[in-house]
Amino acid sequence: MSDQVGVFFFIKLYKTRMRLETIDIEGKSFFGIAMPYDTDLIAKAKKLKGRWHPKRKLWLFPITPERKEKLIRAFNLQSSNKSKTLILKEKSKVPKEYLEQLERRRYSPNTIQTYLSLFEKFLSHFNSIEPEQLNDSHVAEFQTYLVSEKKVSTSSQNQYINAIKFYFEKVLGRERGYYHIERPIKEFRLPKVLTEKEVSAILNSVHNLKHKAMLLMVYSSGLRAGELIKLHIGDIDSEQMRVFVRGGKGKKDRVTILSQKALVVLREYFKKYRPKEYLFEGQNGGQYSDSSLRRVFISAIQRAKLSKRVTLHSLRHSFATHLLEKGVDIRYIQVLLGHNSSQTTEIYTHITHKGWEKIQSPLDNLNLDD
């Protein structure tokens, strides 16, 4: 866990030890608790939406600002009994105020994980200097190192800058623009898009009803992975054929379309699985995991025998591109995707082949010698 979150909570109990730690598994952050086999403890873990990870030998819990306190209370860790004490041990160079500010400002678990990891690498680069003594010259030096030696992408370099800026401005309280860094020009890369035939092959390869319903929803409504797993049962409006996305990227709510074909499969899925809170839940209840959803997509790609290197997010890109090819106004697509700016949505105009059949190469109009 050298590059993972380094803040650990060690809880000593009589004759045994329970450890509550923030860990990263396949790109997703959780609170993890190692505990002895005890039916009462297991019942509490399940009640708090925990799920057992057999390889790590841990109970995993979704990270929220309130979750840590709930876990502490549930396992009586605030007891005055001397045999139970709560010890906070820092194993990270990142000041605890940094993590506290991220949580206080309700940053998403994935963003918190990213910021902590990147900022710790920055601090490690200047290991002999105290964090509060770092300034703009150190940041500039670090940026040169990232570009010249690490060869990081421009998007990664921007993430480093944002993580560092958060510490200087939100934790130390320095004025915005305290240091000046010429941000890198972001490379222009077209999103990877599937054809309608390829999407059909992927969806037809999935025979598990829950898995099929999830992938259908991602493509048919243009959802992000995090938006899909956060859907509640009440977010599906079958009368108006709408899907309500609550707290999407940027903590924004929006409404997108519901497919009639997806609805048929959803109803069949609901009758079989009977989810209680979230539309798609894990085996032990609670929110379905992001990593599991991505594995579902990878398995579907493999079964469909597609060689194109795409990700789950490619279904969202394909949703937008296919709508554009069918003549849907780009302003409507912008609303469905939840983009702030039409410029973000306009990238799909660089992918669509609509109208290309009417375009003739100028070479075809030249008289050439045989």
**pLDDT at 12 (0 to 100):** 34
Tokens of 315: 């279904």
Q: 348 burial class (0-12, 13-18, 19+ CB within 10 angstroms)?
A: buried
| Phi, psi of 251, rounded to the nearest 5 degrees | 55, 35
- How far CA 131 is from CA of 68, 111, 122, 175, 227, in Å, comes to 26, 21, 10, 17, 36
Indicate which residue of 138, 165, 242, 249 is catalytic. Answer: 249
DSSP 31-91: EEEE----HHHHHHHHHTT-EEETTTTEEEEE--TTHHHHHHHHTTTT---TT-EEEEEE-
pLDDT in tens, 149-185: 888 877 788 889 999 999 999 998 887 764 455 555 6
d(CA 186, CA 296): 31
Q: 9 vs 203, which has greater pLDDT?
A: 203
Read off the pTM: 0.57
Distance (Å, rounded) from C-alpha 239 to C-alpha 273? 22
Q: How far is CA 131 from the centre of its chain?
A: 28
- Higher per-residue confidence, 90 vs 322: 322
Highest mean pLDDT among 17-26, 112-121, 236-245: 236-245
The yes-or-no verdict on residue 19 having pLDDT over 90 is: no
Sign of CA dihedral 201, 202, 206, 209: negative
Split at pLDDT 50, 70, 90, the class of 195 is: very high
In the chain, where do the E strands start and end? 7-13, 16-25, 28-34, 51-53, 58-62, 85-90, 236-237, 242-245, 254-257
What distance in Å separates the CA atoms of residue 313 and residue 218, rounded to the nearest whole number?
Answer: 8
Residue 73 annotated among the catalytic residues of the structure: no
User: Catalytic site residue 51?
Assistant: no
CA pair distance 208, 217, nearest whole angstrom: 14
What pLDDT sits at residue 311? 92
Site of tokens 């921007």: 158
Determine the residue type at 224: R
Predicted confidence at residue 224, as pLDDT, reads 92
Helix (H), strand (E) at residue 201? helix 196-204
Catalytic annotation present for 316: yes
Q: Give the pairing type, strands 7-13 and 16-25.
A: antiparallel
Whether residue 339 lies in the annotated active site: yes
CB environment 275-307: b (16+ within 10 A), e (fewer):
beebbbbeeeebbbbbebbbebbeebbeebeee
Assess whether 224 carries a catalytic annotation: yes
Query: Alpha-carbon distance 55 to 73, whole Å?
Result: 27
**Whole-angstrom Cα distance, residue 29 to residue 23?**
6
* Mean pLDDT of all residues in 288-302: 91
- What pLDDT band is residue 356 in, cutting at 50, 70 and 90? low
Q: Tell me the C-alpha distance between 86 and 4, whole Å.
A: 22
Percent of the chain with pLDDT over 70: 82
DSSP 19: E
- For 271-287, the pLDDT digits (tens) are 999 998 899 998 877 88
List 28, 49, 212, 224, catalytic entry:
224
